[in-house]
Amino acid sequence: MDKYLKEENFINRELSWLDFNFRVLHEAKDKVHPLFERIKFLAITCSNLDEFYMVRVASLKNMVHSGYKKKDASGLSAKEQLEKISEKTHEMVKEQYNTYSRSLLPQLALNGVNIADREHLSLKQLDFISRYFKNEIFPILTPMAVDSSRPFPLIHNKALNICALIRGKDKKEAFATVQVPSVLPRLIRLPDSEKDSYILIEEIIKEFLPNLFTGNEVLCAYSYRVMRDADIPIDEDDSEDLLLEIEKNLKQRERSEVIRLEVDSGIEKNLLSILKKELNIEKEDIYKISGPIDLTFLNKLYSAGGHENLKFPDFKPQTHPRLGKDTDIFEEIKKGDILLHHPYYSFKSVVDLIKRAAFDDKVLAIKQTLYRVSGNSPIIAALSQAAENGKQVSVLVELKARFDEENNIIWARKLERAGCHVIYGLLGLKTHSKITEIVRREEDGIIRYVHLGTGNYNDITAQFYTDMGLLTCSKEIGEDAGAFFNMISGFSEPSHWNKLILAPIWLRNKTVEMIEREIRHAEEGKEARIIAKMNSLVDPNIIALLYKASCAGVKIDLIVRGICALRAGVNGLSENITVRSIIGRYLEHTRIYYFYNDGVENIFCASSDLMQRNLDRRVEIMFPIEDEELKKEVMHVIDVQLADTMRAYIQTDGVYEKVDRRGKQSIDCQVVFGEEAVKSNKRKEEKKKVNVFIPKTKPEDE
């Protein structure tokens, strides 16, 4: 295996992630998309980059500070990675703002949408922003000067600020800063009879900044924003109460190291040197921005209403044909397993299952894992109601879910107050599994109904993440589900599993075993094939094994949305491997693993990607799809994605390019799945009409 583990065979995971974000940025530039969808893609690239810096770049900086010298699989040290990341990110930011200023802003103006600056306002608009500043903004603002008696203030993570150079009556110059209030909308609609006109709140504040420093002269003012380290480790071993420990760490984030500074491109040198010194930041981590700092405000423009002709056609997630309004969901699951492909089939069916269980007299217990849920989660409400109704409710709430820690603490406490048994994850591991078990007493005994998924129990993200979920009352999976919850709530470790494959103990070995089986079949001259769809492929040992499989003649198709450390299409290494990334209207989140197995096809869905963290440091579940009709459904999804010519990028030796469409049918897999879901419900309605018996009003002979 050593020859497959050479450094040149791997792409650095951080640089691969940046390539992914460049692909999203490419979608923002693609004129095939409606204009408002393009601005949404641009906003996504900015929020993606924020999280990347707060977590991944912060982690690398911590490695450098601690003297960590070990290189990654691609042969780069943490310091070398930071240098390459900085170079690539500066290029990305420049392209983001070129896209915004040169492409999207002019197109918005042509379509009646204007984002104004304060130098180009009408008298009516100037009067409006003057009153808005006086009545809405001014009472909230707190200007902070810096001098010998007033130290440099705490600048909050991701908050937008305005720094200014102030000259007093004594002619001395001083630094001052004011935080742009996040409690007010960033995008303010202006009165305009001809266009939808907006102005950014920081433009209004800059216009009337002298009102905050009466008796002083404002020499200049510029926007800036800092990004802080959010990769704060939690010492679980020494923590008596994990919930309190995480709450403490959340507060520490606000004072952690500044790892990125964004400033207006024209910022005065003295102001920049003050910021650089006080924030203790290196030159390469300063980004001069030619436009509004933090383009995520474009999401607000998208959702402001109107301009539906500039967006994707509205798609309403369909109810699965077997799960209609009057369906007894438990009886339907007993007829056979049900596969849900979200968002094409509505996630509401999963919510309805838990709601139904909360009020069903036959239901004795509900057990569920929660990793990320929505801000007003109907699932949390249903679980609370179930506990209040006397059901035994056990919920594992993963407090270590990054950036959802605070939200999850709130939900955990609410569930506890309702009478649920709440488990706060496992020591040293994140529980990333998506599983629900409903225990029901029926005439023929206890039956376990189980939902297994590839995505979170989040009713909001389920509308724009693609995921799969299995509803089953398989006795073997039910036993496994019971064993799983006993394992995470106590000290029980099952001697065996019937169907489920779990990380961190069993999943890696089983994956290796199935890849090696395909290698043996190929070496025996048999057909051998692997197809895998996931978010990220990073694990060096799995990648090396895939290289070995390719060299043995196994045909391998990989659909990897984001990070991919594997180099595809390299002679003598991976010529039998294709890698494609699909970027579209929905975020591809489904994990599917297929092994030909000499014609006895094995198909699995999973909560896990092929990364070290998933395989070794998280509690994950891979579950089989065994019903022959459902196998066909999963393979149809794979086949359509492999045939996609509109949303797919193909990787060759680390370089991604859109599929060459010449001479090929235009196939957008996400559009295909949406259309198919609508058609399946139409067929169901037509079938109902055909089967309706209409009694005659009088005998035929009469």
What is the per-residue DSSP string for 61-126?
HHHHHTT-----TTS--HHHHHHHHHHHHHHHHHHHHHIIIIIIHHHHHHTTEEEE-GGG--HHHH
CA distances from 7 to 71, 327, 540, 569 (A): 10, 56, 10, 17
Confidence band of 506 (pLDDT split at 50, 70, 90)? very high
Token pair 């996609």 is found at 644
Confidence band of 410 (pLDDT split at 50, 70, 90)? confident
Cis peptide before 504 (omega within 30 of 0): yes
Assigned CATH for 2-310:
3.30.1840.10
pLDDT of residue 324: 86
Q: Give yes or no on whether 2-310 and 503-687 have one common fold.
A: no
- Give one DSSP letter per residue of 375-398, joined into a string: TT-HHHHHHHHHHHTT-EEEEEE-
pLDDT digits (tens, 9 = 90+) for 564-583: 999 999 999 999 999 999 99
In 135-210, which residue ranges form alpha helices assigned H by DSSP?
201-207
pLDDT of residue 697: 41
120 among known catalytic residues: no
**R_g over Cα of the chain:** 28
Token pair 């020859």 is found at 3
pLDDT of residue 585: 95
- HEC letters along 15-68: HHHHHHHHHHHHHHHCCCCCHHHHHHHHHHHHHHHHHHHHHHHHHHHHHHHCCC
User: Looking at the DSSP assignment, which residues form a beta bridge with residue 248?
Assistant: none
| Helix, strand, coil percent values for the chain (each to nearest 5) | 40, 25, 35
Confidence band of 584 (pLDDT split at 50, 70, 90)? very high
Tell me the mean pLDDT in the region 115-123.
90
CA distances from 15 to 81, 524, 546, 560 (A): 8, 38, 21, 15
Query: Domain boundaries in the chain?
Result: 2-310, 329-496, 503-687
* Tokens standing for residue 323: 């799960």
Confidence band of 695 (pLDDT split at 50, 70, 90)? very low
463/474 Cα distance (integer angstroms): 28
pLDDT of residue 693: 43
254/261 Cα distance (integer angstroms): 15
Catalytic residue of the set 342, 432, 451, 589: 432
Structure letter (DSSP) for residue 8:
G
pLDDT at 442 over 60: yes
Q: Nearest 5°: phi and psi at 490?
A: -140, -140
Structure letter (DSSP) for residue 137:
I
Note whether 357 and 363 are within 8 A (CB): yes
pLDDT digits (tens, 9 = 90+) for 606-617: 999 999 999 999
Note whether 21 and 49 are within 8 A (CB): yes
pLDDT digits (tens, 9 = 90+) for 72-105: 999 999 999 999 999 999 999 999 999 999 999 9
pLDDT of residue 232: 61
Q: What angle do CA 126, 130, 132 make, to 5 degrees?
A: 115
pLDDT at 238 over 80: no
19/132 Cα distance (integer angstroms): 42
- Highest average pLDDT, of 59-68, 410-419, 546-555, comes from 546-555
In percent, how much of the chain has pLDDT > 70?
Answer: 93
Q: Nearest 5°: phi and psi at 523?
A: -65, -25
Q: Which of 251-260, 288-297, 563-572 has the lowest mean pLDDT?
A: 251-260
Confidence band of 402 (pLDDT split at 50, 70, 90)? low
Confidence band of 696 (pLDDT split at 50, 70, 90)? very low
pLDDT at 531 over 50: yes
Query: For all residues of the chain together, what is the average pLDDT?
Result: 92
Tell me the mean pLDDT in the region 317-332.
93
Query: Domain 503-687 is classified in which CATH homologous superfamily?
Result: Endonuclease Chain A (3.30.870.10)
621/604 Cα distance (integer angstroms): 10
Fold for the domain defined by 329-496: Endonuclease; Chain A (3.30.870)
Token pair 């007033």 is found at 150
* Tokens standing for residue 455: 């995505």
Of 485 and 686, the structure prediction assigns the larger pLDDT to 485
Pairing of strands 529-534, 555-560: parallel
pLDDT of residue 689: 54
pLDDT of residue 694: 45
pLDDT at 702 over 90: no
pLDDT digits (tens, 9 = 90+) for 331-352: 999 999 999 999 999 999 999 9
Report which residue type is found at 646.
M
Tell me the mean pLDDT in the region 656-681.
93
- Of the candidates 275, 132, 260, 98, the one whose C-alpha atom is nearest the C-alpha of residue 201 is 132
The CB-based long-range contact list for 271-278 (8 Å cut-off, 24+ gap) reads 271/163, 271/164, 271/165, 271/175, 271/220, 271/222, 274/146, 274/163, 274/175, 275/163, 275/224, 278/146, 278/152
Of 248 and 218, the structure prediction assigns the larger pLDDT to 218
429/701 Cα distance (integer angstroms): 77
Note whether 12 and 81 are within 8 A (CB): yes
Q: Nearest 5°: phi and psi at 318?
A: -90, 150
pTM: 0.92
Kindly report the length of the chain. 702
- Of the candidates 560, 304, 455, 403, the one whose C-alpha atom is nearest the C-alpha of residue 50 is 403
CA atoms within a 13 Å half-sphere pointing along the CA-CB vector of 334: 11
pLDDT at 404 over 70: no
